[in-house]
Every structure is written in C-alpha cells, then in structure tokens.
C-alpha cells in the first residue's frame, strides 16, 4: 500500500531535549516536505527536499533541521525544542513526474507537546 | 507574496442542504489548486485538484470545485451534505514557478446539523 508513515504519532517532551520525528514514504517520490498545523493558521511549510541531499527552507524553518540521506526518509529534527513548537506536524511526499499534477500525499501526523 | 484565503472559519449546514466553501488565492499566475479534507484526529485527504482545462472539477465524496480566474477563486461545493462530511477543509495552492512551495488556507470547519 502506498503510504507516508510518521513516528511517533504522539510525543510529549521537555524544553531543550533534542528529538527527531521520522518520516518515510514507499512511493519512490523525489519531493518531501514537512508542515506544522496550528489552529487558525492552517498548514505552514517548514522544510522541503527536492531529492537526496537537496533541502531548502519553507516559510517557518526556525528551530528545525532536516536531512535527506535516503530517498524514502526525511526526518525532522528539533535540536532544542521550545513550547512554541508545540503543534501538529505533517510529512508529505509527491512526485514531480508529468501527470501527477504534483499532488502531495500526507502522513497521519505527529502531535508534539513541549512543556 | 502568495497567499490563500478561506474567509469562513466555521460553517454550519443542515444535513441534506447544499454547501459552498470559499477559497481565494493571491498569485501572479494560475497555480495548481487543491482541496483537502481533515477529519478529526486524521491526516489530510485530497478531495480534488485543478491545474488546467475544464474549470469545473469533480472530486471524491460528491464534491466539486469551480475555478474562476477573474475572481482568483476556487470554491468547493456539494449539493447535499451528509453528516459524515463534518470535518475541516483546506484549500491549497502549489506555485507553478516554484513547485516546491505549497501554501494552505487557514481552514474552514464544517458542522452538520441533523
């Protein structure tokens, strides 16, 4: 089954304790992206990756890092989480191939609480 | 700067009534346009998309959307709402000249009255 998976689904942590949220897709997509969702703000793009070893900032990259060492994986790293990073996080992937219209497929989300 | 506006934060309709959710975008050219639905506690599911051609597009679950270039709008419609349609709906655009960037509206929460 084609899917995007994220782990963990729920995470409660304390300020300053480094964490990683994993994202993996099995569709051989070149493009992957991370979003955060906050009430009243919709989804905002954090980082994206066009392919292995190619990443770039989205609209809200501060406090986050990413890496793309393999095509299928795109982890989101919070080196020193703060309470304002409490949010619902989504990973997404898509293929730039002609005919797909660049549709994104979303993971189930990770709810992060930083105390 | 590119932006997506969903002017209605909450909408309540009666089951069986028609529905229209509004979406306006700000962009220099016609972008790729999407509507997603998010049920409580769930991820995002694509309802429909538009990139060119017929301005009325059909999606899943009986939804349709109409692209109006002159109004920079991409409104979502359904002729008869079901209780299971209660969810949050997001309009999104993907920039043509930088398809790495996606922009989402702030969402519209739909309540359905029995």
Q: What is the mean pLDDT of chain A?
A: 93
Name the minimum distance, in Å, from the CA of A19 to any CA of chain B: 22
pLDDT score for A95:
81
Q: Please tell me if residue B104 touches chain A, with a CB cutoff of 8 Å.
A: yes
Q: What is the CA radius of gyration of chain B?
A: 14
- Select from B2, B1, B4 the least CA-distant residue to B104: B4
CA distance between the termini of chain B: 41
Q: What is the average pLDDT across B45-49?
A: 93
- List the single residue in A33, A40, A41 with the smallest CB-CB distance to B102: A33
Q: Which two tokens stand for residue A1?
A: 């089954």
A99 CB contacts (<8 Å, ≥6 apart)?
Answer: none
- List the single residue in A35, A56, A103 with the smallest CB-CB distance to B100: A56
Using one digit for the tens of pLDDT, what is the confidence trace for B50-99?
Answer: 988 888 999 999 999 999 999 999 999 999 999 999 999 999 998 777 77
pLDDT score for A89:
97
Best residue in A59, A97, A104 to probe B by mutation, most B CBs within 10 Å? Answer: A104
Q: What is the average pLDDT across A40-49?
A: 93
- Please state, in angstroms and as integers, the Cα–Cα distance from residue A61 to each residue in A33, A91, B34, B102, following that order: 12, 14, 24, 14
- Residue A90 with chain B: CB contacts under 8 Å: 43-44
pLDDT score for B58:
96
Name the minimum distance, in Å, from the CA of B71 to any CA of chain A: 22
In whole angstroms, give the CA distance from residue B102 to residue B98.
9
Using one digit for the tens of pLDDT, what is the confidence trace for A56-110?
Answer: 999 999 999 999 999 999 999 999 999 999 999 999 998 865 556 668 899 999 9
In whole angstroms, give the CA distance from residue A93 to residue A107.
9
Name the minimum distance, in Å, from the CA of A80 to any CA of chain B: 26
Name the minimum distance, in Å, from the CA of A43 to any CA of chain B: 6
- Please state, in angstroms and as integers, the Cα–Cα distance from residue A10 to each residue in A21, A27, B72, following that order: 10, 24, 38
Residues of A with CB under 8 A from a CB of B: 31, 33, 35, 40-45, 48, 50, 56, 58, 90, 96, 101-104, 106-109
Q: Which two tokens stand for residue B30?
A: 């016609």
Residue B2 has pLDDT above 80, yes or no: no
Residue B1 has pLDDT above 70, yes or no: no
Q: What is the average pLDDT across B12-28?
A: 93
pLDDT score for B62:
96
Check: CB of residue B33 under 8 Å from CB of residue B50: yes
What 3-state class would DSSP assign to A13? strand
pLDDT score for A99:
58
């Amino acid at each position: 089954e084609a899917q995007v998976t994220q782990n963990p689904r729920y995470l409660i942590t304390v300020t300053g304790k480094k964490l990683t949220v994993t994202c993996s897709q099995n569709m051989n997509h070149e493009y992957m992206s991370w979003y955060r969702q906050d009430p009243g703000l919709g989804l905002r793009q954090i980082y994206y990756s066009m392919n292995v070893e190619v990443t770039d900032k989205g609209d809200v990259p501060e406090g986050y890092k990413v890496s793309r060492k393999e095509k299928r994986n795109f982890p989101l790293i919070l080196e020193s989480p703060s309470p304002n990073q409490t949010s619902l996080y989504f990973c997404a992937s898509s293929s730039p191939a002609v005919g797909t219209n660049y549709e994104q497929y979303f993971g189930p989300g990770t709810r992060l609480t930083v105390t | 700067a590119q932006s997506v506006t969903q002017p209605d934060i909450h909408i309540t309709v009666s089951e069986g009534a028609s529905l229209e959710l509004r979406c306006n975008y700000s962009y220099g050219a016609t972008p790729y346009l999407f509507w997603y639905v998010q049920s409580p506690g769930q991820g995002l599911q694509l309802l429909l998309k538009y990139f060119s051609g017929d301005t009325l597009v059909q999606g899943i679950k009986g939804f349709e959307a109409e692209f109006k270039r002159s109004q920079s709008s991409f409104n979502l419609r359904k002729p008869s709402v079901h209780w299971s349609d209660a969810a949050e709906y997001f309009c999104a655009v993907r920039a043509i000249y930088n398809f790495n960037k996606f922009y989402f509206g702030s969402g519209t929460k739909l309540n359905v009255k029995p």
